[in-house]
Amino acid sequence: MTDSFVHTSYASRVVFGPGTLEQVAAEVELLGVRRALVIATGSAQQAADVVEEALTERFAGRIDGVRQHVPTEVAEAARATAREVEADGIVAIGGGSAIGLAKAIALTADVKILAVPTTYAGSEMTPVWGETSGGSKTTGTDVRVLPKTVVYDPMLTLQLPLHTTAASVANALAHCVEAVWTERANPITETAAVEAAKALADGFRELLREPEPRSQHGLTSPADLSARGELLFGACLAGSALASAGTGVHHKLCHLLGGTYNLPHAETHAAVLPQVARVKAAEVPRAKARLEEALQTDDLATGLFDLFKAANIPTSLQALGLTREQAAEAADRFPGDVEEILTRAWAGTRPE
């Protein structure tokens, strides 16, 4: 029998498939947006050009300067631009940083976001925002920042370098794993998380079979596209699981580390997740077994660690530039006992 539960799902429209970038302008129109501000990450300039042209008179302006963890000065400048161009909508193309900047604007202005994600961070499916000021990252939840429409075009991810891909997949897997043990975890979020983990693991294995994407040689093979599609679908499900289940110790710890020591977001998740899983997964044996089946491993924590190691992602915080003293300081600042988790994550100890 299924236990009693409460689940909140967040309403957004998802348009998924190769070539859907071409539908962005029509989707903007469907949202009733008249003046769209385009925010594009460095790698997405070509895609932004395509959208800018297709938007015709609905194009209001463009922001290309995007930085991780949404520094307040970047957010303030973007808010000023949005006011200047009288934007009532934003098209954000890029990873979590571009989408995060759009969210920072939507937090203080009445704008509708259309997100076009090009990594697997999953921010596009969540009402969670973040901003960093003076070495401290503040996060919050507000439905005003939830993108109204998300356009997933796997074609845009074909050139995502393997290292960035691997770290971003680790970030998405962190959403799946944490979504099974948070206070708001429930059978719906658990099922989404398990299916997401399966899609991410399958897509990633498929991609690793061909580590030099054939698309880099000017050709897009069906295999590349199929793996990229699988990964993007996993990211979408993982993001929605995170949105409904909320964050727990793992995400809170990664936000503290990322915001305070300016560590790279996705890589930090990869170093911390196996260590948190070692401690937390035992609390949720059914979900642990389902995730292990999805990831084809006998043990969740070591399975994740070995997967990240095989993908050449740094599995220690030390390798990301965090000092031992900073790790100890973070453990002191965290509201909860994470000393062992941080000691092991700093050293990159296999979580046996």
Binding site for ligand NAD (CB under 6 A): 41-43, 68-69, 94-98, 100, 118-119, 121-123, 126, 128, 130, 156-157, 159-160, 164, 168, 171, 265-266
Q: Smallest distance from the beta carbon of 47 to ligand NAD, in angstroms?
A: 9
Give the Cβ contact number of residue 110 at 10 Å: 9
Q: Smallest distance from the beta carbon of 40 to ligand NAD, in angstroms?
A: 9
Of 139 and 297, which CB lies nearer to ligand NAD in the complex structure? 139
Of 118 and 316, which CB lies nearer to ligand NAD in the complex structure? 118
The token pair that represents 63 in the structure block: 């922001």
Instruction: Find how far residue 243's CA is from the centre of its chain.
Output: 11
Question: Smallest Cα–Cα separation from 76: which of 126, 133, 148?
Answer: 133
Distance CA 339, CA 27 (A): 47
Of 175 and 290, which CB lies nearer to ligand NAD in the complex structure? 175
Q: Smallest distance from the beta carbon of 265 to ligand NAD, in angstroms?
A: 4
Of 103 and 280, which CB lies nearer to ligand NAD in the complex structure? 103
Q: Smallest distance from the beta carbon of 299 to ligand NAD, in angstroms?
A: 26
Query: Which residues make beta-bridge pairs with 14?
Result: 150
Q: Smallest distance from the beta carbon of 120 to ligand NAD, in angstroms?
A: 7
The token pair that represents 337 in the structure block: 């006992």
Q: Smallest distance from the beta carbon of 107 to ligand NAD, in angstroms?
A: 11
Classified as helix, coil or strand, 43 is helix
Of 299 and 317, which CB lies nearer to ligand NAD in the complex structure? 317
The token pair that represents 255 in the structure block: 């936000």
Q: Smallest distance from the beta carbon of 29 to ligand NAD, in angstroms?
A: 25
Q: Name residues whose C-beta falls within 8 Å of residue 332's C-beta, 6 or more positions apart in sequence.
A: none
The secondary structure element, H or E, covering residue 80 is helix 72-84
Of 225 and 347, which CB lies nearer to ligand NAD in the complex structure? 225
Indicate the residue whose CB is closest to ligand NAD. Answer: 96
Q: Smallest distance from the beta carbon of 129 to ligand NAD, in angstroms?
A: 6
Of 69 and 278, which CB lies nearer to ligand NAD in the complex structure? 69
The token pair that represents 302 in the structure block: 């070591």
Residue 251 class from Cβ within 10 Å (0-12 exposed, 13-18 middle, 19+ buried)?
Answer: buried
The token pair that represents 18 in the structure block: 């190769």
Of 46 and 323, which CB lies nearer to ligand NAD in the complex structure? 46
Of 15 and 121, which CB lies nearer to ligand NAD in the complex structure? 121
As separate numbers, helices (DSSP H) first and strands (DSSP E) second, the chain gives 13, 8
Q: Name residues whose C-beta falls within 8 Å of residue 245's C-beta, 6 or more positions apart in sequence.
A: 178, 179, 180, 182, 184, 185, 186, 189, 193
Evaluate whether 243 touches 126 at the Cβ level (below 8 Å). Answer: yes
Give the Cβ contact number of residue 190 at 10 Å: 22
Distance CA 224, CA 215 (A): 7
Q: Smallest distance from the beta carbon of 171 to ligand NAD, in angstroms?
A: 6
